Structure 1
Amino acid sequence: MSTTIVPGRQAAAPAPSIAGNFRSYIARVRGGDMGALPAILGLIVLCTAFAVLRPVFLSATNFANLFTQGAAITMIAMGLVFVLLLGEIDLSAGYTSGVCAAVLAVVMSQQGLPWYVGVGAAVLTGVVIGLVLGALVAKLGIPSFVVTLAAFLAFQGLLLVLVQEGTNIAIRDPVIIAIENRYLPPWLGWALYAVCVLAYAAVQLVRARRRAGRGLAADPVGLIALRVGSLAVLGGLAVYALNLERSRNVLLVSLKGVPVVVPIVLALLIFWTFVLRRTAFGRHIYAVGGNAEAARRAGINVDLIRVSAFVICSGLASVGGIILASQASSVDPSTGGSDVLLFAVGAAVIGGTSLFGGKGRVLDAILGGAVVAVINNGMGLMGYSASVKYIVTGAVLLLAAGVDALSRKRAAASGLR
């Protein structure tokens, strides 16, 4: 049978079947491209274990707590993904969030300015910090480990200066407090759910249509339906659980709905995912992370990309600091310190972002943040001490780093990298 090709149009490649896509995915996994698979499997195992050992883990109240407990760590991890993609590190991200939270508190509580001025000042502080760190790394050639370690120490002192050597600055603005302590009306949660599912379906269909129009192999409709259906089911279950009444005394206060912080995290996830996957800047990030010299010879401004990555990292750390301030309704010398940085780096790596650069997604921060939150939450419910939580989280991080290293070796051996 002959195939007629219309002049001026490229013949469309045959669409692979669902089975073909599955075989291709298995081949990539065997070749070392694990992606988010370890994090997803880890989440399934951890949630199953905690649900069996402590059934209260599956309660609506605890489910909502997971979102609020892991939001700040996840936000900081999202910024760290950009730095890690370049093969760099930012050890100051935790205290950057603390400094920005302190700026927010000083502007609002001590200067009496409105919340949007405080938020703007906090984010601007994060951007300036990122510019300074990025310039020291890119322009002076100082290793990022040294630069950010020095900043880690300096920002502890700066935070003490801002909070006047130990003062606890209370946050009373209802808008800031609402970020971590208020919930969307149930109808708005369902509306947000519907918009997300429909938007995801539209993106998938438009992408498949464009690829087919360019003569490229497009995902089959069945596979798109499976993806959209999976998102619809999981998202629907999550919104349903969050809309259940969680208050023990409804007459005094009602606790139901999606936490306000969730749409904030979703909006930033969608925006930065678009930047990484659909813009020239995102492609340049991956190019520099994969091979900086080759990227430079291709005409990419490597220094600008490096500075930009640190600006994004510190900017998102400032948002994480705002979330921390909302969570505690105050700022003190410990804000952004302690285990915040360790958990944020762990979240990015556990989610699938490579420590060697060139591989990772913003979604990795969400998945890794969920793993860290589940470990802390579940082990807390089981009565384990902080020492055991640290040991288990450290072991999971080491396992994730080991999987990353082995995956790179496997990919190099199979010719995928």
Structure 2
Amino acid sequence: MTTAYSSPMRVAEPTVAGHLHDYWGRVRGGDIGSLPAILGLIVLCLIFGIARPTFFSAVNFANLFSQGAAVIFIAMGLVFVLLLGEIDLSAGFASGVCGAVMAILLTDQGWHWYSAIPVALATGLAIGFTLGFLVSKLGIPSFIVTLAGFLAFQGILLVLLSGGKNISVRDPFVLSLANNNMPAGLSWTLTAVAIIGYAAVQLVRFRGRAVRGLVTEPMGIVLARIAGLAALLVAAVAVLTQERSINPLIISVKGVPIVAPLIAVALIVWTFVLGRTTFGRHVYAVGGNKEAARRAGIAVDRIRISVFVIGSFMAAIGGIIAASRANSVDPNSGGSNVLLYAVGAAVIGGTSLFGGKGRVLDAVIGGAVIAVIDNGMGLMGFSAGQKFIFTGLILLLAASVDALSRRRAAATGNR
């Protein structure tokens, strides 16, 4: 008598064509992610580049980083808040308060940067904890709490600056954050490290899933993703390492702006937190269904406080970068269009206003879109009013796409 042994079922090897077909199916089902923002960014760059060839110059390309950096940092923090379906209207002036704290300690009190910056960051943490506590423990809607913060922080900024004075920032380290560049050699070295590190993460993840018998992406897609990032980084660094000084014999200006790797580090850290930690999974769970998350044993109040803490902490970094770029702080620091651009960056990039959907990368992509609009329309001679109108229309379009995609996802069962 013979005994038949059944071998375990093998999962069919994924193909590139099948993967692309599945992706298109998800897009048609409403899961579009950052695709509209990426396509819009490409179209805008082509339009501005054709209308004003100087848009693609090395000088202007480097300027885009310093122009958009503060908004991107604030938007990264707002992504966490928006993931819970909440809003933070105080982030702009909170960034101004933190920047003012740093400037006062540096200029008026004579502190060093390594003491003043931590105090400014701690101020951001305290602001975030206060906002989160009021929202989660007292049950006050985040709109009301942060609107009150918007007004209060504007007043605190005036008090800190004695009614309206301007405080200059002269510390070389702080000024270098938004205004200086890395040496060309270091720029290329960090680029190589970034490409190798990204490739290693992608390949290790692919091998790990394959060993455990889980469904994997086709190797062709993985390699294409690595090659795409490598090509993008190499092209960007090749442009940024060109000489950008009008008179290079007197002063040489070339290399990747220092703020670029700072954005990259924040992106990597917060992407890991959201995608690879229990905390990140809980944020998505609470944003998707707060009551279900509570019944599952998730400390909902703690998560709600945490996202406001992260939001204000990133606002503090944005305030420091803004003070560095302006070489000063004043009563308008963090005001004007800062908050609107930061919220717009997160939403335009693909983060949902309804909660439960979004990535930190959305803030970077959306921030790039806003920086390109502001920069390109400025080169074409448009007024500030025209810029605001166009940016507002883009934000309205992004919110409409989000609402329609959620409706489509619900109709197709992909919600």
- For this pair of structures, how many residues does the alignment match? 412
Over 2 Å off, 4+ runs: 2-5, 10-15
- The answer on 1:55 being equivalent to 2:53 is yes
Provide the C-alpha distance between the structure 1 equivalents of 2:287 and 2:212, rounded to a whole number of angstroms.
29
Residues 83 and 351 of structure 2 are in contact (CA less than 8 Å); yes or no, is this contact kept in structure 1? yes
For 2:87, the equivalent position in structure 1 comes to 89
The residue correspondences of 1:17-416 to structure 2 (distance < 5 A) are 17-416=15-414
Q: CA deviation at 1:366?
A: 0.3
Instruction: Give the whole-Å Cα distance in 2 for the aligned partners of 1:187 and 1:27.
Output: 44
CA distance in 1, matches of 2:61, 2:116: 31
How far apart in 2 are the matches of 1:15 and 1:182? Answer: 49
Distance 2:213 2:227 in 1: 27
Q: Distance in 1 between matches of 2:350 and 2:332?
A: 29
Q: Is the 8 A contact 1:12 1:214 kept in 2?
A: no
Distance 1:69 1:304 in 2: 34
Kindly state the Cα deviation for residue 368 of structure 1 after the two structures are TM-superposed: 0.1
Q: Deviations over 1:357-385 (max 9, x none)?
A: 00000000000000000000000000000
Residues 133-183 of structure 1: CA distance to partner in whole angstroms, max 9, x if unpaired? 000000000000000000000000000111111111110000000001100
The structural deviation recorded for 1:349 is: 0.1
In the TM superposition, residue 12 of structure 1 has moved relative to its aligned partner by 5.2
Work out whether residues 353 and 361 of structure 1, in 8 Å CA contact, stay in contact via their aligned partners in 2. yes
- Contact 2:72/2:364 (8 A) holds in 1: yes
CA–CA distance in structure 1, aligned partners of residues 219 and 149 of structure 2: 50
In structure 2, the residue corresponding to 1:317 is in which secondary structure?
Answer: helix
Q: Give, in angstroms, the shift of residue 14 of structure 1.
A: 2.6
Q: Distance in 2 between matches of 1:148 and 1:29?
A: 34
The letter of the residue matching 1:382 is M
Distance 1:220 1:258 in 2: 33
Q: Which amino acid letter does the alignment assign opposite residue 185 of structure 1? A: P
- How far has the Cα of 1:282 moved from its partner? 0.2
Amino acid at match of 1:143: P
Q: Is the 8 A contact 1:190 1:239 kept in 2?
A: yes
User: How far apart are residue 23 of structure 1 and its match?
Assistant: 0.5
Taking the aligned partners of 2:5 and 2:193, their CA distance within structure 1 comes to 41
Moved more, 297-306 or 215-224: 215-224
Determine the C-alpha separation between the residues in 2 that align with 1:12 and 1:213.
Answer: 12
How well do the aligned residues superpose, as a CA RMSD in angstroms? 1.1
Opposite residue 71 of structure 2, the aligned amino acid is: I
Measured in 1, the distance between the counterparts of 2:273 and 2:252 equals 38
Where does structure 2 lack aligned partners over 5 or more consecutive residues?
Answer: none
Identity, % of aligned positions: 63
Which residue identity is paired with 1:122?
A
Paired with 1:279 and 1:15, the residues of 2 have a C-alpha distance of 29
Give the distance between the partners of 2:151 and 2:5, measured in 1 at CA: 68
Amino acid in the other structure paired with 2:207: R
Q: Secondary structure at the match of 1:202?
A: helix
Mapped to 1, the partners of 2:298 and 2:243 lie a distance apart of: 53
Question: Are 2:19 and 2:218, in contact at CA under 8 Å, matched by a contact in 1?
Answer: no
Counterpart contact for 1:208–1:218, Cα < 8 Å: yes
Query: 1:13 offset after TM fit, Å?
Result: 2.5
Note the C-alpha offset of 1:4.
Answer: 6.6
The answer to whether the 8 Å contact 2:74/2:314 transfers is: yes
- Any conservation in 1 of the 2:161–2:330 contact (CA below 8 Å)? yes
Query: Cα distance, 1:15 vs. partner?
Result: 3.0
